[in-house]
Chain A
Amino acid sequence: MFRHLFLLFILLTSIAPAFANPAIEWIEKMSDSMRNLSYSGNFVYLHRNQLESMSILHIKDDFGETERLLSLNGEAREVIRDNKNLTCIWPDSRKVVVDNSRQNTFSPLFVPDDITKISKYYDMSLSDGDRVAGQKTIIVEIKPKDQFRYGLKLWINSGNGLLLKSNLIDEQHKIVEQVMFTNLEVLDQKEQKLRITMPQLDDSFSLVRYHSGDASGNLEADRSWRFTRLPAGFWQKSALKRRVADTQRFIQQMVYTDGLASLSVFIEKQTVQTPQGETSMGAVNGFIRILDNYSVTAIGEVPAVTVRLIAESVSRQEP
C-alpha cells in the first residue's frame, strides 16, 4: 500500500511542473499586485555603476491606473503615465513631452501564455529571499539556457506580491541593471487621494510632442521587409508603421519576443548619414545597419549578439 502511494507521489511530482510552475504563479501574482494595488515608495536604480534614486506613486482607481515616477537625484525628471498618455517632464530644460501610452505597459512583467515554450529557453526556480525594504520576500530566478537572452532575479513580497527588487543578469552572469525599493507602502483609498499632487510647472515650460497620433493611428507595416535568421525561440509579436508628427517620414517597428525577452527593429528612410554598428546603454543593446538607404536599428534588453543577429538578418524584397 505504502509502496503504491510512494510511486503515485513520485509520478505526481514528476509531472507537476507541466501543469503548474510555482515560479510562474508568483510572477502572475506579482503582475496582478503591481497593477491593481495602489502604492508609493522610493527605489534605487543601478546601471553601469551609476546609482539613481527614484520615487514612484502608483494609483489604481475607477479611472484605471496612474503612475508617477520622479527622479530624486541629478537633473529632475518626472514621468506620469496613465491609460492614455505618457508625460515626461524635464524641469531644468523646461520641456514637457506627451506621448501615447499603451495600456499593457503597466504590467511590470509580461506573463506568457505558453509556459512550455518559455521553459524551453529558460529555467525558473523559486527560493526564500532576504528582507528587502524591511519586508519578507520570495525569490523567483529566471535563467536563460543560451547566450541570446538575459536572466532575471526577482524579490517579491511574500505577502502582498509587490516587486521589491529585481536584477537583470547578462550572459556573463553579471548584474547589468538593478532596481531595489528602500521603502514601499500600500495605499488605501483615502491615502491615495491625498498623495496625488500635480507637478509644479510655470510659464517657461514648453510642450514638445514627439510622436503623432494615437496607437490606433498606426498603419500596417510594410511587408517588403524580411527577417531571414532569428535567434532560437524569437517570433514576431507585432509590426506597425507610424508617421513622425511634424514630418512626412514613416517609421516601422517590428517587435520580436521569445515570450520574456523582447527587442524592436526600427526601419526608416535615411535622412542624414547615420553611423553603423553596435551601441549600448546599460543593459540595452542596439545595432544600426544601413540597407538600401534605410536605417535598420535593432534595440532591446538582450545581449549584443542578439540585436546584431536580427539586424543583419533583415533583407528587403521589392513588392
Chain B
Amino acid sequence: MTLTLFVGAIINMLFLASMYILIALGFALLFSIMELLHVAHGVIYMLGGYLCYSLSVTLGMNQWLSLVLTVGIICCFGPVLERFFFRPFFRDFDRTLLVGIGISTIIETTMALSKSNEAQSLRAFATGILKMGPISVSNERLVTFLIGALLLLAVMWLIHRTKVGLQMQAVGQDLEASLLQGINIYRISALACVIACGLAAVAGSLLGAYMGLGPFMGDFVFQKALVLVVLGGIGSIGGIFVAGLVVGGIDAFLPLFISGSATSALAIGIIIVVLLLRPKGFFGREMGF
C-alpha cells in the first residue's frame, strides 16, 4: 500500500466515521433514553433528504436555508411520533418495533411509488477540492465531517451539561426513580424524539447531497446505527464516537485489501468478535429488556 493510498484511507475513515456518527446520533439518543429501537429512523433520514431537495432544487431556495427549514419541519414529526406512535406503547419493545416497521413500510412504499424512477441528488453543500500535496479532499466531505463532529459535541454537551440532558440520563437509567423525582418522562421522550428527527434530517440532507437520493436510501441507516449503538454501548453517547471510528476504519481500509462483497461479511464478523469480547460494547451498560 502506498503512502497516498494510506493517507487517502485515513481521510475516508474520518469521513465515514463522521457520516455514521451523524446517522447514529439520533438513533442512539432514543435507544439510550427510551429504550426504543427506532426502526423508522431511516425513513426520517430519507424524508429529510427529499424535503431539502424539494426546498432547494424544486423551489430554488438557498441550500443552507433549505437545510435549516428541513430540520425545523422534520423536528415537528418528533412530538407527533412520541405522542401517537410511541407513548401508547412506552417501553413495550415488541409493539414499538412493530409500529416502527409499519411507519417505515408505509412511508418507503409511498415514496417508492412516487419517486422510484427518478435519479435525484441535492447539490453539494460546499464545492471545490482542498489539495495538500498528493492528497486531496473535497470541501463537501470536510463540511460533512465538521458538521458531524459539531453535532456530536453539541449532543454530548446537552446530555452531560444541561438540566434537560441530566433528566434524559435519569430516564434512561431508571424510569421509576425519574418519576419519583418529578421528571416528566413524556416531555423528555418528546424532546428526545425532536432531537433525533432533527439529527436524521441533517444527516439525510448532507448525505443526500453526497450520495444521492432514493426511496430506499434509509435502509442502510438502521443497520449502521444499530451497529454503532451496540458497539459503542447502550447508554453511552460518547461511545458512538469510538464505534464510528472503528466501523469507519473497517469500511475504509478493508476494501483496499479484500475485494467485493466479502468486505461486508468480514466487517460484520469483526464487529461480532468485538462484541464477544466486550458484550456491553465499549462503554455501555446492560440492555434493560
A-B complex is real: no
Footprint of B on A, CB under 8 Å? none
Footprint of A on B, CB under 8 Å? none
